[in-house]
Structure 1
Amino acid sequence: MMDVVQQIAFAFHFSAKRIDVFKEEVKENDEAKASMEKRQKLQTLCETRWASGANALFTFKASLEVIDGALHRLANMSDTKARVYTCPIERFDFILPLIVCEHVLQILAPLSEMLQSKASDLIEAMKETRAVYAVIQNERNYGAVWDALYESAVQLAATIGVEPLSPRCAGHQLHCNNTPVDSTEVYGKRSVLCPFYDHVLQELDDRFLQCSERFMAQHLVPSNLGNLTDDMVMQIYQTFSADIPAQAAVFHTEIKRWIARWLLEDPGNLPSTLQNTLHDINPNLYPNIFNVLSVLISMPVSIASAERSFSVMRRMKSYPRSTVTTERLSGLAMFHAHEDMGVDTEAVVRDFAQGKSKRLVFLFNN
């Protein structure tokens, strides 16, 4: 289903002719125009950003009737690939996963956006993860949500003339999902909803909930010290015992000095992020806290920062810059990452002019 959505989105995205036909279909369909919420084109999927996937699936679901009509019109206009794109979307085993995945990704979208923020609060992220986990687990165990999703899929399929049918089952087919059921509704629940919900629950548990004890160390950030308790300190020590060479009593004493250190400061000037805390901490005075925060900052719950770096590299190292050296490319990346920092242009010109002898005179000495 995801592959089909991506292929069709690319097909309309990179063709002016198809985009024009799509917009004409939207203008003629007032109901689809309202459900698309002022969107004028399809959105492509992103393999890593789940929030983007939720928006892309929502747009595709809301404009499914428009997409089907546009593809049929393009097929009549001798578009050879339009018929190829029409066949997979006019199947109930495509529409039902579309409804289920879009619904689940909408639940995960706020959490995904929170985790991809540069100033992500890991403690609040864990609370939100537990809330999302509870919601998905409740929907997986009770059938009221499934009934609504299935009815929504049946209604969406009816707009393009698709009947709710389940795939044919055969005992001798070893690689097919031959779920023994009597109805299409039960087949969809057992083969689509339950496996997908189980997969999401397992990923949430593996990626976040099992690491929640390590994220407790964010209470050592000066702005969060007011919520730090003795039990939390003991839990942090036990979790990071491999990275703390000191004994438990020494670590507790260091924590007391750490709290007293920041009580002397103005509450408005307390560091609120791990990066700022590591910048202000003295590793010689607080070696154990420094080790704990260094480990914590090196194990992000998402890879959003790395993905942003890859996106920057894709924009910078384009075909005209294919021969750029590593040193220059690293410099451009640093400029892009720290674009908010001011640059002293006179100092840059002075360093460039005095670097080595040049034929042109860049500086005029009085």
Structure 2
Amino acid sequence: MANSCHKAKTFFGTCQTIYNVFSNSTKRWTVLLNYIDDLTLKSLSATRWESHVESVKAIITQIPQIKEALTQLSEVCEDGKVCRDAKSLIDGEFSSFEFILSLVIWYEILFKINLVSKKFQSKDMLLDVAIQSLDGLVTFFDNYRETGFDKAIIEAKKIAETIDVEPEFPVKRVSCRKKQFDENPNTEREQQSAKEKFKTDYFLVLVDMALSQLKTRFEQMKHFETIFGFMFDASKLYYLDDDLLKTSCLDLEIALTYEKDSDIDGDDLFRELQSLQKMLPKGAYEGAKPWTSLEIMEFTKKLDIFPNILLAYEILLTVPVTVASAERSFSKLKLLKSYLRNTMSQDRLNGLAIISIENRFLSNVDYDKMIEVFASKNARRHHFR
């Protein structure tokens, strides 16, 4: 979305510039803190785009205070470049209704995406819950495309009043050129107002890009649902008739087959699920909260008589909803292998990476005992003559 049009690129460049003006000096940061109370400005993350909502939130909720801080900075700062940057922000973006409207639009978009993204990254996230969340996000963008622009203008006008900005779109001078005799005039495009151009060239581009990317991800999730959908919860599994249950088991066998080897046997899985349907307690499939796939697997593990069911649920629960944890593991490398550690061996790098990635286990490690074991194994006795 951020690279889909020029205005989106410059918007986040402006957000980073506002942060850099204050953060590059402790004195300038003190000037900012004299005007704001709650949220400090945040730098844009290079890897986690949904975290941009923190930067946008800090600006949109404190526009009058930040504008006053920039005004003060442009008057008292001794650095000419900083004075020029602060003054250009005051006369440019902080006096532009388009920038305020962009803040409202991006904050609404990023806030919704951030909610779903954080939910996806939870350790107990299940595939069926992820599909529901993604479906809800797609529905939000469909509705936001129709009604979001008008609501964003109303919200932007309220913010513009607090900093004395006229809620108007700048009208650019249209360059006149001589048209050819056989040229078809684009009268509809030429007659668009500045507001309509902003909507078609910026707002709709962002939302359409978000929808296309989300629907691509949603198609992948739907593919998994066609394979494992009958195992998502106890209510779906219990009320499935024998014909559909057998068809689903055979389809699952085909999906988990590579060349001539298959992880499960479809016929055996069907017979095991028939028995499991009769053994499930009544509370597992009735009521507002039926058992999840994780609870069914735990129940199956206690019985210890359904090997195909247990293996199928293990595969289902290990399908990754996101790759956030893997990406964070690789992000540790730039903290470990820096320019000051160029000569680090591969074994040492692997060891430090594992320690950093699995740091939650280190809190339960007895270091004194480890040191004693290490010292006893490496003790050397030399006899000197």
Q: What is residue 305 of structure 1 aligned with on the other side? A: 325
For residue 151 of structure 1, what is the aligned residue in structure 2?
154
How do 1:260-271 residues align onto structure 2 when only pairs under 5 Å count? Answer: 260=275
User: 1:348 — aligned with what?
Assistant: 370
Structure 1 residue 355, shift from structure 2 partner? 4.8
Kept in 2: contact 1:139–1:146 (CA 8 A): yes
Match in the other structure for 1:95: 100
State the match for 1:257 in structure 2: 272
- Any idea what the Cα deviations from partners look like across 1:144-203, whole Å, max 9, x if unmatched? x3222113223434444444224625577xxxxx96454332222212221111111111
Distance 1:265-1:165 versus aligned 2 partners, 3 A rule: closer
Q: Is the 8 A contact 1:50 1:112 kept in 2?
A: no
Deviation, structure 1 residue 295? 8.1
Deviating more after overlay: 74-83 vs 187-196: 74-83
Q: Give the TM-score, by structure 1 length.
A: 0.73
Report whether the alignment pairs 1:110 with 2:115: yes
Please give the alpha-carbon distance, in whole angstroms, between the structure 2 residues aligned to 1:271 and 1:239: 16
Does the 8 A contact of 2:252 with 2:266 survive in 1? no
Count of residue pairs brought into register by the alignment: 336
Match of 1:188 among 188, 191, 198: 198
> Does the C-alpha gap of structure 1 residues 2 and 181 become closer, same or farther in structure 2, counting only changes over 3 Å?
farther
Q: Give the CA deviation at 1:204.
A: 0.9
The answer to whether the Cα contact below 8 Å between 2:97 and 2:169 also exists between their aligned partners in 1 is yes
Alignment correspondent of 1:243 = 256
Mapped contact 1:51–1:108 kept (Cα < 8 A): yes
The 1:155–1:237 alpha-carbon spacing in structure 2 relative to 1, beyond 3 Å, is farther
Which of 335, 349, 355 does residue 335 from structure 1 map onto? 355
* Letter aligned with residue 151 of structure 1: I
Q: Which is further off, 319-328 or 304-313?
A: 319-328
From the superposition, tell whether residues 316 and 75 of structure 1 become closer, same or farther in structure 2 (CA, over 3 Å).
same
| Corresponding residue number in structure 2 for 1:125 | 130
Residues 159 and 181 (structure 1), Cα distance of their counterparts in 2 relative to 1, 3 Å cut: farther
1:30 aligned partner: none
Which of 10, 17, 40 is matched with 1:7 structurally?
A: 17
The aligned runs of 1:145-294 (5 Å cut-off) are 145-163=148-166, 164-166=168-170, 168=172, 169-170=174-175, 180-215=190-225, 224-225=233-234, 227-228=236-237, 229=240, 231=244, 234=247, 238=251, 241-244=254-257, 250-257=265-272, 260=275, 272=294, 286=308, 290=311, 294=315
Instruction: Please tell me the residue identity of whatever aligns with 2:269.
Output: E
Q: How far has the Cα of 1:253 moved from its partner?
A: 2.6
Q: Deviations over 1:246-293 (max 9, x none)?
A: 79x9414324426757988999xx98399999x99x9x953x974885
Contact 1:92 1:165 in 2 (8 A): yes
Judge conservation of contact 2:228–2:252 (CA < 8 Å) in 1. Answer: no
**Which moved further from structure 2: 189-198 or 333-342?**
333-342
1:43-62 map, 5 Å: 43-62=42-61
- Displacement of 1:24 in angstroms is 1.7
Hey, what does 1:83 align to over in structure 2?
84
Cα distance in 2, alignment partners of residues 208 and 136 from structure 1? 13
- Matching of residue 17 in structure 1 with residue 27 in structure 2: yes
Give aligned-pair identity as a percent. 23
1:349–1:210 Cα change, 3 Å: closer
Secondary structure in 1 matching 2:198: helix
Q: Which amino acid aligns with 1:253?
A: D
Q: CA 1:19–1:335 in structure 2 vs 1: closer, same or farther (change >3 Å)?
A: same
Quick check: 1:97–1:192 contact (8 Å CA) kept in 2? no
Larger deviation, residues 303-312 vs 188-197:
303-312
CA distance in 2 between counterparts of 1:25 and 1:238 reads: 63
CA distance in structure 2 between the partners assigned to 1:11 and 1:81 by the alignment: 7
Higher relative contact order (CA 8 A, sep 6+): 2
Q: Which residue of 2 aligns with 1:29?
A: none
Separation in structure 2 between the aligned mates of residue 315 and residue 252 of structure 1, nearest angstrom: 51
Q: Distance in 2 between matches of 1:251 and 1:154?
A: 61
Q: Does 1:74 align with 2:73?
A: yes
Amino acid at match of 1:243: L
Select the structure of larger CA radius of gyration. Answer: 2
Q: What whole-Å deviation, never above 9, does each CA across 1:95-123 have from its counterpart, x for those lacking one?
A: 32222111122222221110121222221
Tell me how far apart the structure 2 counterparts of residues 120 and 234 of structure 1 sit (CA, whole Å).
27
| TM-superposed deviation, 1:305 | 0.5
**Deviation sequence 1:310-350 (CA, Å, 0-9, x none):** 34334444565454322222222222333343335466345
1:242–1:121 CA distance, 2 compared to 1 (3 A) = closer
Work out the CA distance in 1 between the residues paired with 2:380 and 2:272. Answer: 57
Conserved in 1, the CA contact under 8 Å of 2:134 and 2:218?
Answer: yes
Kindly indicate whether the alpha-carbon contact (under 8 Å) linking 2:23 and 2:29 is maintained by their aligned counterparts in 1. Answer: yes
Q: Which runs of 5+ in 2 are unaligned?
A: 1-10, 178-187, 285-291
Alignment partner, residue 138 of structure 1: 143
